[in-house]
């Protein structure tokens, strides 16, 4: 492995003073030393800006970017705009990584000649322990097969837990001002890659907090996940028709659970959104009757993803 293979590690930072030191320490202690560590302070109102500055003084590989609050996508994009590495990875500032995370991911990427590589991870629940998520190993030499991985039961759409070649981000950025930015981005990254590999090593510790987007109570912002999967479907319909039915079914199966989460007493805006979701179900009722439940489409995934 060449020593001049610089890896850019981008960490958006916002209101995580309780967790930030553990995250950064796990990065600076990597067995692979040739790192560019970019801490993006996204206008955090707590001690995080000072903590970032302290880490920069302690390790010359660390660069700190201070910016007005713009959200996770904006912070990641700020890191992408200045990073110099031939390889790029994202780490959430409340998570942490195993000491050989970079070494193993980079080695696997080179061995497999991959443009994107993903690993297994450990869900770290603050109140209830941990669980290991081990997606099946995946090797794709075709873009269409790789896109289908998004709709498999073992799908991993998050931007973290992955290594990317720099070329993936030369023409792409995260969508700013929207939630579920990973679901809105990963399929585009897969489309730009010639080979994607998923390894079984559990190298990333994913902290699940009670007040996170994924665990917080319902709000209208939650509806954004349906819109993200719809965009995935429309992309497949236009570019990869063999995966279109699978993507469409995957999108539609997420709508009923969302509808069930709406409160009984609806405000005007909530009522309009609920009716919009119902209309999408009605508009696709013919497809649903002939193609749902979508589990049967997972067999298509195996066929499309086979060598």
The reply to whether 215 falls in a domain is no
How many structural domains is the chain composed of? 2
**Is the domain of 76 the same as that of 115?**
yes
Q: Is residue 32 part of a domain?
A: yes
- Please tell me whether residues 271 and 172 are part of one structural domain: no
DSSP 130: E
Res 280: pLDDT? 93
pLDDT at 4: 62
For the chain, percent of residues with pLDDT exceeding 70? 87
Same domain, 163 and 77: yes
Domain match, 45 and 194 both: yes
**Does residue 1 lie in a domain region?**
no
Tell me, what CATH number does 128's domain have? 3.90.550.10
pLDDT tens figures, 165-222? 999 999 999 999 988 999 999 999 999 999 999 898 999 999 987 655 554 566 788 8
The answer to whether residues 172 and 57 belong to one domain is yes
Domain holding 76, by residue range, is 7-208
Taking alpha carbons only, the member of 159, 154, 43, 157 closest to residue 92 is 159
Quick: pLDDT tens for 269-297.
999 999 999 999 899 988 887 876 655 54
Same-domain status, 257 and 143 = no
Tens of pLDDT along 63-73?
A: 999 999 999 99
Final residue of a structural domain among 208, 240, 256: 208
- What does pTM read for this prediction? 0.89
Is 47 found in the same domain as 134? yes
Q: What is the C-alpha separation between 190 and 142, in angstroms, rounded?
A: 10
Output the pLDDT for position 271: 92
Beta strands in the chain (DSSP E): 7-13, 35-42, 62-67, 87-90, 96-97, 116-125, 129-133, 138-140, 162-165, 196-208
* Residue finishing a domain among 163, 186, 208: 208
- 71 belongs to a structural domain: yes
Residue 111 is assigned to a structural domain of this protein: yes
Q: What are phi and psi of 135, to 5 degrees?
A: -60, 155
pLDDT band at 23 (very low <50, low <70, confident <90, very high): very high
Question: Side-chain half-sphere of 200: how many Cα atoms within 13 Å?
Answer: 3
Would you say residue 2 lies in a domain?
A: no
Q: 296 in a domain, yes or no?
A: yes
The residue that leads in pLDDT, 305 or 182, is: 182
In a domain, 59, yes or no: yes
Q: Which of 208, 239, 256 is the last residue of a domain?
A: 208
């Amino acid at each position: 492995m060449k020593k001049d293979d610089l890896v850019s590690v981008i960490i958006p930072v916002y209101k995580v003073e309780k967790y930030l030191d553990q995250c950064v320490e796990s990065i600076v202690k990597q067995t692979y030393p040739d790192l560019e560590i970019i801490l993006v302070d996204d206008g955090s109102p707590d001690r995080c800006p000072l903590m970032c500055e302290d880490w920069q003084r302690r390790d010359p590989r660390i660069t700190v970017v201070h910016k007005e609050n713009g959200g996770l996508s904006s912070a990641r994009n700020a890191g992408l705009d200045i990073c110099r590495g031939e390889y790029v990875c994202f780490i959430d500032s409340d998570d942490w990584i195993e000491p050989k995370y970079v070494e193993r991911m980079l080695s696997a990427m080179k061995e497999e000649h991959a443009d994107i590589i993903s690993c297994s991870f450990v869900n770290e629940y603050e109140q209830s322990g941990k669980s290991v998520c081990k997606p099946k190993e995946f090797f794709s030499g075709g873009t269409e097969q790789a896109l289908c991985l998004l709709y498999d039961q073992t799908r991993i759409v998050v931007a973290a837990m992955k290594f990317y070649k720099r070329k993936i981000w030369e023409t792409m950025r995260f969508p700013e001002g929207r939630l579920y930015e990973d679901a809105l981005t990963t399929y585009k990254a897969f489309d730009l890659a010639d080979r994607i590999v998923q390894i079984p090593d559990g190298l990333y510790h994913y902290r699940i907090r009670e007040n996170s987007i994924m665990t917080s109570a319902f709000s209208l912002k939650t509806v954004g996940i349906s819109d993200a999967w719809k965009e995935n479907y429309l992309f497949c319909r236009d570019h990869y028709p063999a995966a279109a039915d699978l993507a469409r079914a995957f999108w539609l199966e997420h709508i009923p659970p969302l509808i069930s989460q709406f409160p009984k007493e609806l405000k005007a805006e909530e009522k309009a959104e609920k009716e919009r979701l119902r209309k999408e179900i009605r508009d696709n009722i013919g497809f649903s009757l002939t193609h749902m439940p979508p589990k049967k489409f997972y067999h298509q995934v195996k066929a499309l993803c086979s060598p």
